[in-house]
Structure 1
Amino acid sequence: MLNAMFQTRNFRKLAPVAVIAAVLGGSSYAAFDHFAKPDTISTWVNATPVVKTRMGEKPGENTAMIPADFTYASQKATAAVVHIKSTLKPERTVSQMEVPDAFKDFFGDRNPFEQQAPQGRGEKPQATGSGVIINPDGYIVTNNHVIQGAESLEVTLSDKRTFKAKVIGSDPNTDIALIQIDAKNLPSLAFGNSEGVKVGQWVLAVGNPYNLTSTVTAGIVSAKGRNINILSENAKAPVESFIQTDAAVNPGNSGGALVNLNGELIGINTAIASQTGSFAGYSFAVPSSIAHKVVEDISKFGTVQRGYLGVGISEVDGAKVKSYDLKVSEGVRVESFADQSAAKEAGVKIGDVITKIDGQMIESVPQLQEAIAQHKPNDKVNLMVNRDGVEKAITVSLKGSAGNTSENAGKAATLDKLGIELQDLSNKAKKEIGVEQGVQVSQIFAGKIRQGTDMEEGFVITRIDNKPVTSVAEAIKILSDKKGGVMIEGVYPGKPETQYYAVGL
C-alpha cells in the first residue's frame, strides 16, 4: 500500500521513502552565531548562510565569504540515526496456516485451515528504512510503513553494532511507530519545537538512502502544513500536516531525522514527491509536535490517545468569503458535526470560522489537525471562532473518535489497534446471512488484522474465543479484556463455511 507510488491531482507521484524489494541485499534556528567567533559577523547572503570574516579594519570591508558550518548538527544527528532492516512476513496460503498452541483447545486435533487453499510457499521480502534514537535506553522512532508487516526487525547503529528490535506500538494515522532495542547509554536526539520552524530556515535530513549509511543532506523548509493524501488508504483518521523541504531524501530515508542547525529533531522524514521514486525536489516530514505525542502515548498507554473536536471543516477561500458573506478571510469553516460532537456540545455552530486554537493561528485544515492531534480525550482546548463578524472564545473538552471520553476511549482504541470498524446486524440481515448472532466488519485499515490475516471487509464475526458476539459493544468488551492470542470465528455472506482468524493483542 504505502510501498506503492501515489498519484495526485497535480500529476506528482508521492512515495514513502523506504526501500522495498524481494529479499533485497527547541525552536531555535539558523543560529550561526553559535559557530561564529568574536571577530566574525553572521549574516545571510543570496539565500545562503555565510560568515563574513573581518579582513580589514572596518566590518564589511575586504571580507571573505565562508559557508556556514553544518558539522555540529550533522555529527549530533548521525550518531542517533539508525538503519532498520525489516524481514516481512511471507504471503501465506490458508492451507499453510496452523492453529497456534493458545487456540488448540478450541479445535482439538483438527486444523480448521487445512485444505481450504492450494499449497504454496511464500518468499520473505525485506524492507529497509531509518530510525532515530530518542532515548538512551534504546527507544527508536520510525515510520509505521517501515515496520508494517515485519516478521523481524534488525537495527544497525552508527557504530555498526546490530540488534534485534521489538515493536512497542505504531499509529497508521500519522505513519509513526516506536520500536526498542536491548541497549543502554545510546546517543539520542531530543525532540525540538516544530511549531517554531520557519519557512526558509535551513534543515538537515539524515538517513540511510539506498542502504548507504549515515547520509546527510541540507535544504530549507519550503512549506509547512502540507496535506499530500498519502495516508488515507491505510488510516482510519489520517493526520497530515507535513513539513515540506528541498533537502534530498531518497528510498531508505523513511523514518530518518529532520533536524535544525542545533541538531534538534523537528521531523521524521516520510515521503517524497517524485515521478520516478527518487528525489525530484521535495520531501515531506511528520512534524515533531505530532511524532512526540504519538510515541509518548504509545510508551505510556500502548496506543494513541487522540482527542477529537467532532467537526467537518473546510478551508476559507475567496469563493467561500463571497458565497457565505464571511467577515474573515482566513481560517477553517465548520460545515458539519459528528455524532456526540465535542465542539457542538461546547457551543460551536455550523458556519463558525475557527481562526485560533490555544492562541495559535489556524489558516488551513492540516494546521487544525496538527493542533488537535497533540491532545487526548478530555483535554480542553480554547477555540477562537468568528461568527458573523464577531469573535467568540469557546472552550471545548475533546472526546474520543466515537464521541467517547477517556474512560471509554481505551475500548475503542482496541478496534483501532486491530484496524477494523464494526457494525451491528439487523434481524433481517442475520436471517439473510444465516447466523443467529454476529457483527459485521465494515472497514479494514492498517492494523493487526490486515498485518496478520487475510480477512476481508464484510466478514461477520460470530464468536471471539468461543464467546458468542451479539453486538458491537459486546465485541469491544470481549476484545478489550484480552491480552495475547485471540481467535475470531465467523462467516462471509453467501459462503456457508466457517472461517477462523488468529491475531495477537
Structure 2
Amino acid sequence: MTELDAYSQIVTRVARTVGPHVAALAVRSRRGEGAGSAVVVDSDGLMLTNAHVVHGAESGRVAFADGSESRFSVIGADPLSDLAVARADDAPIDGIELGDADALQVGQLVVAVGNPLGLSGTVTAGVVSALGRSLPARSGGATRLIEDVIQTDAALNPGNSGGALADANGRVVGINTAVAGIGVGLAVPINTTTRRILTALRADGRVRRAYLGLVTAPFPLPDVLARRLAERNQGRAPSRGLRVVEVVAGSPADHAGVRTGDLLLDAGRAPVRDAQGLQKLLFTDAIGVPLPLTVYRNGAMVDVIAVPTELPN
C-alpha cells in the first residue's frame, strides 16, 4: 500500500464516520434567508453550529444526511466564540464523539465535513496550519474577537460554516467557522473552554463573557526575557506569551494602556501562553473586576490594570 492509498483510506474512514452526523440548516430571520451546517452531538437532537449561521433566527429546518428533515429550535448562541446550540425535533442519528483540540499539533491531518446547501457529505482534507489564533470578526459595525481558533488549509466550501473538523480517528475537534482567505480555513476548537461555553448555552441559552478587546497570537519569548523570567521564577519560565496584534479602540485593554506590539506575559498574576489561557479568565466572575496585566514593551516589563466589561449580546 502506498502512502497515498493510506491517506485516502484515512480520509474515507473519517468521512464515513462523521458525515452522517453533519446536517444542513436553513434559517429565516429579519436579515433574510441563510444556510449552514451543524453537527449532531447527542441522541436528543442537540446540534452545534456557528452563532453567525443562526444569528437573528429562533428556528428553521434541518436536513440530515439520510434525506430526512425536521424543524429545529435555537437554544442559545455565543458570538464571541461563534458557537451556537440548536435542537432538532427529530434527529435520525445519535451524537458524534467530541475530541480534544488541545492535543492537536501543527501539521496534523484534519478532515472538514460539511453539508453546504444540502449537498450532504462534502469532504475536504488538509493539515493544521496554526493553533491559538485570535482573530477579529466584524458584523453590523461591531467588532467581536473569535478566540483560540484552529487554522487549517482544508478548503471550506460555501455553507460549510457550522460543520465538523475531525481528526484522523473521526473525533470532532472543531466547528468550522469561516474562510479567512484563499487556502485558509478557521475552526472553533473543542476543548475545556468551549465545553464550558456549550454547557452554559444548553442550560441558560447564553454565556456571560468578560471582554478585554485584544487580538493576539502566540509568540516565543525573546532569549533575554526568558532568562530574566527564569531568574525571577527560580528557573521556571514560560517559553512564550501572546503578541498583541490589535487593541480594539475604546476597549478595556485600550483604556488600560495596552498597545499593539506588546507581548502579554501575565494576566491575573499568572503566565499566559495562549489565547485559551486568557479566555479562561474572561467569564462571568471577571466582569467589572480589575485584572492585572504584565506586558513586555521596548525591553521593559510594564504592569497595567484592565477592568473587563460584559460583552453585550
Superposition TM-score, scaled by structure 1 size: 0.47
Q: How far is 1:146 from its partner? A: 0.7
**Structure having the higher Rg:** 1
Aligned to 2:204: 301
User: Greater RCO between the two (CA within 8 Å, min separation 6)?
Assistant: 2
* CA pair 162-368 structure 1, distance change in 2 beyond 3 A: same
* CA pair 357-220 structure 1, distance change in 2 beyond 3 A: farther
CA distance in 1: counterparts of 2:34 and 2:74, whole angstroms: 15
SS of the equivalent of 2:200 reads helix
From 347, 353, 360, the counterpart of 2:265: 353
CA distance in 2: counterparts of 1:71 and 1:252, whole angstroms: 21
Aligned to 1:88: 29
* CA pair 163-225 structure 1, distance change in 2 beyond 3 A: same
* CA pair 330-369 structure 1, distance change in 2 beyond 3 A: same
Q: How far is 1:198 from its partner? A: 0.7
Aligned to 2:56: 149
Q: How far is 1:233 from its partner? A: 6.0
Cα offsets for 1:9-29 (capped at 9, x unmatched):
xxxxxxxxxxxxxxxxxxxxx
CA distance in 2: counterparts of 1:141 and 1:219, whole angstroms: 22
Q: How far is 1:327 from its partner? A: 2.8
SS of the equivalent of 1:135 reads coil
- Structure in which a larger fraction of residues adopt strand: 2
Cα offsets for 1:340-384 (capped at 9, x unmatched):
xxxxxxxxxxx98329998xx8445x34444446x6538xxxx9x
Aligned to 1:77: 18
* CA pair 79-49 structure 1, distance change in 2 beyond 3 A: same
More displaced 10-residue stretch of structure 1: 147-156 or 259-268: 147-156
- 1:173·1:235 contact (CA, 8 Å) conserved in 2? no
CA distance in 1: counterparts of 2:167 and 2:141, whole angstroms: 30
Cα offsets for 1:367-412 (capped at 9, x unmatched):
4444446x6538xxxx9x899xxxxxxxxxxxx954xxxxxxxxx7
Letter of the 2:69 partner, please give it.
Answer: T
Note if 1:327 corresponds to 2:209: no
CA distance in 1: counterparts of 2:119 and 2:214, whole angstroms: 44
CA distance in 1: counterparts of 2:113 and 2:216, whole angstroms: 35
Q: How far is 1:254 from its partner? A: 0.6
Q: How far is 1:208 from its partner? A: 2.2
SS of the equivalent of 1:238 reads strand
From 185, 208, 226, the counterpart of 1:283: 185
* CA pair 252-316 structure 1, distance change in 2 beyond 3 A: closer
- 1:80·1:189 contact (CA, 8 Å) conserved in 2? yes
Please provide the CA RMSD for this pair.
Answer: 4.4
SS of the equivalent of 1:240 reads strand
Letter of the 2:196 partner, please give it.
Answer: K
- 1:355·1:386 contact (CA, 8 Å) conserved in 2? no
Q: How far is 1:331 from its partner? A: 1.5
CA distance in 2: counterparts of 1:301 and 1:372, whole angstroms: 20
Cα offsets for 1:15-67 (capped at 9, x unmatched):
xxxxxxxxxxxxxxxxxxxxxxxxx9xxxx9xx6765xxxxxxxxxxxxxx75
- 1:136·1:184 contact (CA, 8 Å) conserved in 2? yes
Note if 1:256 corresponds to 2:159: no
CA distance in 2: counterparts of 1:268 and 1:352, whole angstroms: 27
Superposition TM-score, scaled by structure 2 size: 0.72
CA distance in 2: counterparts of 1:161 and 1:218, whole angstroms: 27
Structure 2, unpaired ranges of 5+: 230-238, 254-262, 287-291, 297-306
Letter of the 1:266 partner, please give it.
Answer: V
- 1:172·1:231 contact (CA, 8 Å) conserved in 2? no
Q: How far is 1:228 from its partner? A: 3.0
CA distance in 2: counterparts of 1:72 and 1:317, whole angstroms: 36
From 196, 215, 226, the counterpart of 2:122: 215
* CA pair 70-325 structure 1, distance change in 2 beyond 3 A: closer
- 1:355·1:363 contact (CA, 8 Å) conserved in 2? no
Q: How far is 1:325 from its partner? A: 11
Identity across aligned pairs (percent)? 31
Letter of the 2:67 partner, please give it.
Answer: K
Q: How far is 1:151 from its partner? A: 6.1
